[in-house]
Amino acid sequence: MVELDLATVFDAEPVACAVISPDLEFVAVNRAYERLAGPRERLIGRRVFDVLPGGADGRNAAHWRTALEWVLAEGQPYVMPWGRYDAQVPGRPGVYEKRYWSTVNAPLLDDDGRVSLIIHRIEDVTAFIEQLREERPYGGDVPPDLLKVEVELYVRGRELQSVNHRLRQAQREERETAAELRETVRRQRQEVADASHDLRNPLAGLQTRLEAALAEPDVDSRQVLHAALQDAERLSDIVSDLLELARLDSGAPVTTEPVDLCELACDILTGHTCALTLDTSFEPPAVVAGSRSRLLRLFGNLLANAERHARTRIEVSVACDHGDAVLQIADDGPGIPEDERQAVFRRFYRRADARRADPDGTGLGLAIARQTARAHRGTLQIADRTTGTCMVLRIPLQPAA
């Protein structure tokens, strides 16, 4: 479903609309209404009759009062007969020009069926009426009954045109939503197929080794058990990653605590054995509200990814920037082409160099890392660099107590 911001829709409606309280004061107006009656700042909170030419005692006010009070009393829409209500000329206080209007008032009912607000729609039909008069063969005014019918046909025709436009827009949005759903289903099917393939390989290896051990009593059982343990560990890694993704996908609330990303990075790197040059730059504190265990896993996934691809050097930095804690892990490896920088975050997606560097990888590490970042209201992106790859994690800083 496409999520709609109804306030934005109301404001963008091409027909002048206003929301009126039971006290007959303006509560809201859209931009089209502003063009007719003036800025909303001068309308909101004012009584309807104070805006009409002639004030509360004028003929216009009497017609409007009858219509609005009927809506309040009956809880039903009221279509006002077209009428002439002159409007002030913009920039010329006290000067009015002739205008004709078609007006509809409709109730907005609360849960108890009482009128809580009135939706007021007004449409300028002056041009149409003037055109009718110009087309009269002998001049003069148009007969009132004929004019009413023709004005109503004109207004309904414009409404039909607007409805057709909205229908076309809704159809376009429906097609886009259907395409998104088809793509989601395709990705889910692909993920299931990839997961099945990745699970099948270690299961097949485990089964083969156990069958060989049973068929050959003299086989070295320790060697068989060691190989079987490796297959079981790979199965455990895949299942663990899938479970973590399922938890992240569920959107379950994350139990948070203050976590300093500088301290977290130091804890992981202390005692970490790395054959590459490891440069660090920390600017504490960089405290976020998060799950320490999930952030540890995220950092570990990014560090492991950098170690797989780096040639000689890895850079790890933590700093604060515009209200965010920013963790960057960069390597001097071959880098990731720009057209693959989103694909690498897909589940089970593995580039050829990643398969060569780590044949036993699950292809889920970066997907988990990005989902974890999102669960912390953050982002994980690949920065533009001329060489190597730089992963950039941004998480909002925890507000000061």
| Longest pairwise C-alpha distance within the chain | 117
For residue 269, the one-letter residue type is L
Cβ neighbours, 10 Å, residue 152:
15
Query: Please, what are the domains in the chain?
Result: 6-124 (3.30.450.20), 139-252 (1.10.287.130), 257-396 (3.30.565.10)
pLDDT tens digit string along 281-320?
A: 999 899 999 999 889 889 988 998 899 889 999 999 999 9
* Strand 277-282, strand 313-321: pairing: parallel
Give, for 211, the enclosing helix (H) or strand (E): helix 144-215
Q: How many residues does the chain have?
A: 401
Report pTM.
Answer: 0.48
* Strand 257-260, strand 277-282: pairing: unpaired
* Strand 26-29, strand 313-321: pairing: unpaired
Cis before 285? omega within 30:
yes
Most confident of 67-71, 229-233, 345-349, 393-397: 393-397
pLDDT tens digit string along 99-133?
A: 777 788 999 999 888 999 999 998 877 777 777 66
The dihedral of CA 70, 71, 72, 73: what is its sign? positive
Structural contact between residues 30 and 10, judged by C-beta atoms closer than 8 angstroms: yes
pLDDT tens digit string along 345-399?
A: 887 777 777 667 666 666 788 888 898 899 899 999 999 888 899 999 999 999 8
